[in-house]
Amino acid sequence: MAVDSMVRVAIIGSTGYGGVELIRLLQAHPRVNITSVISSSSAGVPISKGFPHLTNIVEQDLDDLDIEIIARNADVVFTATPSGVSTPLVPKLLQAGLKVIDLSGDFRIKDGEVYEQWYKHPAADSAYVEQAVYGLSEVYGDEVLGVDFVSNPGCFPTATLLGLIPAVEAGWIDTSSIIIDAKSGVSGAGRGLSLTAHYAEINENLRAYKVNRHQHIPEIEQVLSDVKGEQVTVTFTTHLVPMTRGIMSTMYAKVTGEHTQEEFVELYREYYKGRSFVRVRDNGVWPATKEVSGSNYCDMGFQLDDRTGRITIISVIDNIVKGASGQAIQNLNLMMGWEENLGLGYTPVYP
Ligand SMILES: NC(=O)C1=CN([C@@H]2O[C@H](COP(=O)(O)OP(=O)(O)OC[C@H]3O[C@@H](n4cnc5c(N)ncnc54)[C@H](OP(=O)(O)O)[C@@H]3O)[C@@H](O)[C@H]2O)C=CC1
Ligand SMILES: CC(=O)N[C@@H](CCC(=O)OP(=O)(O)O)C(=O)O
């Protein structure tokens, strides 16, 4: 570690949405020095040239991806790299003595065959998958303290799992009845160009995609099965919404036993007691994506339908903050034994 107790951080994938958001958040973090912003395609160029909003804030040049140099200049590396890229990269960083927080899906799924079935490319070395601690901070935060490698959760799983886990753990919902209807802003697809993210294709449009085929299904099922202690399967449908940031996950499940809506609110408030980033709304108040935009909050609300016996749980996050870079920094804080909200006290941008 650096002598002055500041942690030296390098970011790989600095020119993507997750990487640029890490820079925005970390440049204001009181215990972090960003020593290197790395690009595999634009090394040598000042980052503010491609991202003028960073002018006079971060004026570093983008560095090459050279693991020896990174290991000399950094203590912790964030890999904000696409799935498939992290698979061979992360083991090399760990072998070089670095701590790693990986934002991709490559180390989240513990069963390699399941990973390959959903991600359609080879799974990572199982020893590293085993080593990775799944960093859903409010649930597994205690396991993150002092470890070298955190696999940061996916954006949809973050909103969805935070919304379901307390009820599943308490046995208050029938897990065979869970249906998840999730919507994301376009930044969730990353900065690369694609036809679906093209303005004329997404503006004034609403599109379902990867129905029953989304790579976040096995991640959600893995965690819910772990919590429940038996296999849980879910129906999960994602939609692309014409907005830049934000995820709303709307979850439906049959309630088991006699529980009122007020009791659900109380159950969740108790579960997340002391965890400042989860805000459980008052009875009958539902959250909207703008109410968390630019922040690390996950807000949720409930509505019980007495006619059907189903509970509707609505959970919102900013996909790039709590769904990626913000939670990754929360995990850095937990890894280092700092307050989990250090450097993350952003009030949502409203309107
Ligand atoms: N966007 C979101 O809301 C979320 C994203 N994630 C995950 O986080 C990761 C980053 O996502 P996001 O920032 O949106 O993606 P982007 O596509 O916006 O950026 C990814 C970056 O990775 C770098 N990269 C590409 N290929 C390589 C390579 N071979 N070696 C090193 N670097 C490479 C590129 O930068 P350069 O060319 O400069 O090297 C690129 O800018 C992904 O795995 C994504 O699935 C997770 C949760 C939410
Ligand atoms: C809007 C949109 O396209 N979102 C992406 C989120 C991808 C992602 O974050 O991928 P991993 O978590 O698996 O790394 C998607 O639905 O595939």
One digit per residue, the tens of pLDDT, for the chain of length 351 reads 444 589 999 999 999 999 999 999 999 999 999 999 999 999 999 999 999 999 999 999 999 999 999 999 999 999 999 999 999 999 999 999 999 999 999 999 999 999 999 999 999 999 999 999 999 999 999 999 999 999 999 999 999 999 999 999 999 999 999 999 999 999 999 999 999 899 999 999 999 999 999 999 999 999 999 999 999 999 999 999 999 999 999 999 999 999 999 999 999 999 999 999 999 999 889 999 999 999 999 999 999 999 999 999 999 999 999 999 999 999 999 999 999 999 999 999 999
Q: Which of the ligands is closest to the CA of residue 83?
A: 1
d(C-alpha 142, C-alpha 146), whole Å:
10
What dotted CATH number matches 156-321? 3.30.360.10
| Complex ipTM | 0.98
Instruction: Tell me, in angstroms, the distance from the centre of ligand 1 to residue 79's CA.
Output: 8
Q: Quick one: which atom of ligand 2 is closest to the CA of 106? A: 14
- Classify domain 7-131 by CATH architecture: 3-Layer(aba) Sandwich (3.40)
Burial 238-261 (b: 16+ CB within 10 A, else e): bebbeeebbbbbbbbbebeeebeb
d(C-alpha 50, C-alpha 226), whole Å:
43
Q: Is the CB of 188 under 6 A from ligand 1?
A: yes
Which residue spans of the chain are classified as CATH 3.30.360.10? 156-321
Which amino acid is it at 265? V
Contact (Cβ atoms closer than 8 angstroms) between residue 190 and residue 204: no
Q: Is the CB of 157 under 6 A from ligand 2?
A: no
Q: Is the CB of 288 under 6 A from ligand 2?
A: no
Alpha carbon dihedral 18, 287, 257, 169, in 10-degree steps, equals 20
Pocket test for ligand 2, best of 83, 134, 152, 156 (most atoms within 8 A of CB): 156
Which residue spans of the chain are classified as CATH 3.40.50.720? 7-131
Of 12, 54, 74, 155, which residue is the catalytic one? 155
Pocket test for ligand 1, best of 22, 63, 103 (most atoms within 8 A of CB): 103
Residue nearest to atom 40 of ligand 1 (CA): 16
Q: Is the CB of 247 under 6 A from ligand 1?
A: no
Q: Is the CB of 215 under 6 A from ligand 1?
A: no
Give tens-digit pLDDT for 246-282. 999 999 999 999 999 999 999 999 999 999 999 999 9
Instruction: Tell me, in angstroms, the distance from the centre of ligand 2 to residue 49's CA.
Output: 27
Instruction: Tell me, in angstroms, the distance from the centre of ligand 2 to residue 3's CA.
Output: 38
d(C-alpha 52, C-alpha 46), whole Å:
10
d(C-alpha 290, C-alpha 350), whole Å:
6
Residue 34 pairs in a beta bridge with 9
Q: Is the CB of 155 under 6 A from ligand 2?
A: yes
Which pLDDT value is given to residue 4? 53
Instruction: Tell me, in angstroms, the distance from the centre of ligand 1 to residue 287's CA.
Output: 29
A 10 A CB-CB count for 8 gives 18
Q: Is the CB of 40 under 6 A from ligand 1?
A: yes
Which pLDDT value is given to residue 152? 98
Which pLDDT value is given to residue 284? 86
Residue nearest to atom 13 of ligand 2 (CA): 105
155 an active-site residue?
yes
Contact (Cβ atoms closer than 8 angstroms) between residue 332 and residue 74: no
Which pLDDT value is given to residue 1? 46
Q: Is the CB of 220 under 6 A from ligand 2?
A: no
Name the nearest CA neighbour of 239 among 191, 289, 291. Answer: 289
Q: Which of the ligands is closest to the CA of residue 159?
A: 1
